[in-house]
Amino acid sequence: MSELKKQLYKELEIKNAAMVEGINANPIIFKNLALGSKYQEQIHDLFEMDHETHAGIDFPSGFTSPNGLTIGFRWDRRSQYEIKLENGKYYLTQKGQELFPIEFLSRPKYYDYKTSDGVEMSHIATYNREGAIFVAYSNECSLKEKGQDCLYCNINATKDTYAEKEGIFWKYPKQIGETAAAAYKDGAKHITITGGFIPERREVEYYFDVAESIREHTGLEDFNGTAVIGAPLDFSVIDKYKDLGYRTIAMNIELWDKNVFKSICPGKQATCGGWDNWVKALEYAVEVFGFGRVRSNIVAGIEPKQSTLEGVEYLASKGVICFAGAWCPNPGSALEGHRTPEAEWHLDVAKKVSSIFRKAGFTYDQLYDCSAAPTTLCHDIYKIEDSLLPVFKDKVANF
């Protein structure tokens, strides 16, 4: 087991670097990959996470390492990491040297289905692995109209780039309910609902209709849903989301330093009562949803590391699970062309955040239930330390 964990941490290091630096690949190597049938294709549900846009070019959503870590594909032709095809097999390489063979992610069954009004379910809810599905109800954010977009965000630019090719559109509650039912029948067990700011902050009415539709179509009273919202000025709104049937709630503060928050997230500053109100809203949400049932996120790499870790630790002490995902200077965002810190910086953050989570007493199930995708570095570290990956069962079975 000790040797296996060493191998997994090496794969985790490669995963982190490949996600931070992106992965080069000649699109022609995917021509015969059976994307959209056997293997899961990349669909732009909220943000463009590739380091350059590629409208009209199809890519896989990701692949697995030899011992089962999920690695997302982020295209970057400048990267030292590259996927190559040789003798019918795909490999991840670094500076031309083979690291390991890869297996692309299988496509879920519900991707083959359509809603009753003829929309492909794959464009209603994307599959984020291990039973987690993700709904971006809107690829527009009203903060843009006010000139208050978060500077790292490319939600509106993503729609402008891919709307025609991928049919990015508003998702209706019935479409979400039908898709959730098909996905849950296919093994899904968690759903995240998110999107841009709705004009006049009418999110709660929409989330009510979505929750009602999911319960109706799945037959589940507790459908294990996460509602992602902006911090409200009236905290009683948070109680409503609990009453609607969402198991967890998320309010992403994005930056811990107050001044950086104000500069980078002008819309969240103006619309959500500022940094202090955001923190108080998160603390209140724990009173309503419970310890480990409230999530936030910090975009790691924009502010100093110590500031980010202070935020994660403070919120953890209050019962909030705050992830610190690596900042990707997204195409179309105001910070496009900037540099995120080096891969080693982000790996260190992930290890320290995981330690904070452990110290606070958060379980893997709590991390799973409140996150949009159970494939972050923190999830992986828990899986390695607690022997939760399938490879550990295989090793025991073969012992």
**What one-character-per-residue DSSP string does 87-102 give?**
TTEEEEEETTEEEEE-
For position 397, what pLDDT does the model report? 58
- The continuous run of DSSP H or E covering 225 comes out as strand 225-228
Residues pairing with 248 in the sheet = 226
342: in domain: no
140 part of a folded domain? no
Tell whether 224 is covered by a domain: no
Cβ pair 225, 242 in contact under 8 A: no
The H or E element that residue 62 is part of is strand 62-64
Max intra-chain CA distance, the chain: 62
353 in Cβ contact with 380 (< 8 Å): no
Do the bridges between strand 132-136 and strand 126-127 make them parallel or antiparallel, or are there none, so unpaired? antiparallel
Distance of alpha carbon 274 from alpha carbon 253, whole angstroms: 10
Per-residue pLDDT, 45: 85
Give the per-residue pLDDT at 202: 77
Q: Tell me if 126 is assigned to some domain.
A: no
- Number of helices (H), then strands (E), belonging to the chain: the values are 13, 13
Residue 362's pLDDT is 98
How many whole angstroms separate alpha carbon 326 and alpha carbon 378? 12
Residue 199 pLDDT: 65
* pLDDT tens sequence across 316-364: 999 999 999 999 999 999 999 999 999 999 999 999 999 999 999 999 9
The predicted structure's pLDDT at residue 141? 84
Domain total of the chain: 1
- 28 within a domain of the structure (yes/no): yes
Q: Each residue of 40-95: pLDDT tens digit? A: 999 998 899 999 999 999 999 999 999 999 999 999 999 999 999 999 999 999 99
Distance CA 122, CA 137 (A): 13
Domain span at residue 78 reads 2-104
Q: Is 231 exposed, middle or buried, given 0-12, 13-18 or 19+ CB atoms closer than 10 A?
A: buried
pLDDT at 398: 55
Number of neighbouring beta carbons within 10 Å of residue 339: 9
The answer to the question of residue 280 being in a domain is no
Interstrand relation of 81-86 and 89-94 (parallel, antiparallel or unpaired): antiparallel
Q: What is the pTM of this model?
A: 0.96
| Predicted local confidence at residue 200, as pLDDT | 57
Core vs surface per residue 155-172: b (16+ CB within 10 A) or e: bbbbbebbeeebebeebb
Q: Give the Cα separation of 240 and 225 in Å (integer).
A: 14
By CB atoms closer than 10 A (0-12, 13-18, 19+), residue 378 is: buried
Q: Give CA–CA dist 180/174, Å, rounded.
A: 10
- What's the CA gap between 105 and 43, in Å, rounded? 13
pLDDT of residue 117: 97
pLDDT at 396: 58
At 107, list the tokens: 């496509």
DSSP letters, 309-369, are HHHHHHHHHTTEEEE-PBP---TTSTTTT--PPPHHHHHHHHHHHHHHHHHHT--HHHHHH
Domain contains 359: no
pLDDT-flagged residues of the chain (< 50): 399
CA 330 to CA 176: how far, in whole Å? 27
**Is residue 64 domain-resident?**
yes
- State the pLDDT at residue 1: 66
